[in-house]
Chain A
């Protein structure tokens, strides 16, 4: 019981810290803007060019994932939120104050992860549902639409939101390992953008194997009602991404427990 109440206290404290700095608020605003704003832009473009699309594009058109594309840009904003939630403690030195108040390091990280997961899940689901519903509204009458009452469609929208929340946790774990905002954000962006480019230099048959394991490809799988070619199905993609997050977090926790937190780096 005692432990439960203190994890509660740690989580409440971290929630207060999370919402009282501008970077979190800005990050949330950018995520909303990118997912919904780009969603509106993309779906509007599809609608106005619908009659000019090739028969192949029309045949393979997916109204669900096309309305959620903005989230693949918002993943960078979410990554910055997750990274800064821990690296700002190191760059400002406040990690020392934080750890004197909560010396149990596992509990501290558990508290931070709860705050990050819950807020990013709410944010991710909100923006994805909004982008989907607005997108279908824009398609209405011209482009085929999907209904949220369809189980597969509902799954795609929910997993698109979960994807953002998991990426925030992944970025947080990178931040905990690297303890430096610029370094952690660079690595995060590299994993999402540069690694796929490296994949292009591989022979074609390797490339397909490699590409489907990339986080952004997993994200596309998660938000598509039907698995795209050379990709995992939605649930497999979710599990693989979850494994990435847990693996990185495990490394981060081991390092965090062993390292001195007091001295300047």
Chain B
């Protein structure tokens, strides 16, 4: 269990995290979603005691991270896969971590096996590809067999096979009753790998809930193709609907359900050729939610490539 309690972090002139307040529960995969620069990594660093909170606090299992006796036995984290001395071998890197938290030596080979880098464990980390470093980072996070796991943008640098592997891996960890907290700027990734999602933008809380809830509550649109588009537009407009687009393909209507549009058309004597409810994709919901919260957005803001 991770608890974020009115957390605020200010770097000299920027407010990186602004009064965040939420909990991450065990047994599910919780996605931490926001555009780049929205404060996800900062929040994770404060959870791990690397950065100091300006106000509020973050606790794990009711304690501040720095108070934990052998912390990596309780919390495993992968923040930055390349944050390893390049001149040291993977095995020695993990052995040093194990020794510092009094973890038995044989565990090092277990996690190396598990992430599939045993064959290169005696090579210097500097020679690793990003994908291999990512796997080493995961091995480090699992080393202490912790009940809480934090991953910052874990799919970056993984090949499709690795991405599939890591999704199943998160699911398995959660099924074992662990707390799994995964950040990403990719809504599509979170849609398939997370159960619960917490959305932030510009350091502020935007919304949270299950993936289903988030798309259900989002405003969907209805695509209508009819005999008389002009008349239908007028009828829709006079019944609190909004017509977004009108062309040969049909009308894109929001504010009304497909049932309501069908009934209005029938009453007005308009023949409907096609009536399709268009449920908002999670991606669109995300774009809507974080609109204006993208720190480095281009004109055509695309959070998937918002580097």
Question: In the bound complex, do residue B92 and residue A100 qualify as a contact, i.e. CB atoms below 8 Å apart?
Answer: no
Chain A window 85-107, contacts with chain B (Cβ cutoff 8 Å), 1 for yes, 0 for no: 00011001111110111111000
Could you count the A-B residue pairs with CB atoms below 8 Å apart for me: how many are there? 101
User: Do A97 and B100 form a contact, CB below 8 Å, given A20-B92, A260-B50, A261-B50?
Assistant: no
What is the CB-to-nearest-CB distance from B183 to chain A, in angstroms, rounded to a whole number? 14
Inside 8 A of A99's CB, which chain B residues have their CB? Answer: 48-50
Question: In the bound complex, do residue B100 and residue A96 qualify as a contact, i.e. CB atoms below 8 Å apart?
Answer: no
Contact of A92 among B70, B85, B97, B102 (CB under 8 A): B85
Question: In the bound complex, do residue B87 and residue A23 qualify as a contact, i.e. CB atoms below 8 Å apart?
Answer: yes
Question: In the bound complex, do residue B100 and residue A9 qualify as a contact, i.e. CB atoms below 8 Å apart?
Answer: yes
What is the CB-to-nearest-CB distance from A243 to chain B, in angstroms, rounded to a whole number? 30
User: Do A9 and B99 form a contact, CB below 8 Å, given A103-B65, A103-B68, A103-B71?
Assistant: yes
User: Do A13 and B86 form a contact, CB below 8 Å, given A260-B52, A263-B51?
Assistant: no
Chain A window 101-120, contacts with chain B (Cβ cutoff 8 Å), 1 for yes, 0 for no: 11110000000000000000
Cα A99 to Cα B72 in complex, Å, equals 10
Cα A73 to Cα B69 in complex, Å, equals 43
Say yes or no for B83: interface residue by CB 8 A criterion: yes
Inside 8 A of B92's CB, which chain A residues have their CB? Answer: 16-17, 20
Say yes or no for B77: interface residue by CB 8 A criterion: yes
Say yes or no for B96: interface residue by CB 8 A criterion: yes
What is the CB-to-nearest-CB distance from B37 to chain A, in angstroms, rounded to a whole number? 12
Say yes or no for B171: interface residue by CB 8 A criterion: no
Cα A244 to Cα B83 in complex, Å, equals 32
What is the CB-to-nearest-CB distance from A180 to chain B, in angstroms, rounded to a whole number? 16
Cα A12 to Cα B95 in complex, Å, equals 10
Q: Which residue of A lies closest to B86 (CB)?
A: A92
Interface residues of B in 12-67 (CB under 8 A from A): 41-42, 45, 48-52, 65-66
Say yes or no for B263: interface residue by CB 8 A criterion: no
User: Do A103 and B97 form a contact, CB below 8 Å, given A92-B83, A96-B83, A97-B84?
Assistant: no
Question: In the bound complex, do residue B80 and residue A88 qualify as a contact, i.e. CB atoms below 8 Å apart?
Answer: no
10 contacts across the A-B interface (CB closer than 8 A)? A21-B85, A22-B87, A88-B85, A99-B50, A100-B71, A104-B66, A258-B52, A262-B45, A262-B50, A263-B45
| 4 nearest A-B residue pairs (beta carbon) | A262-B50, A262-B45, A13-B100, A93-B83
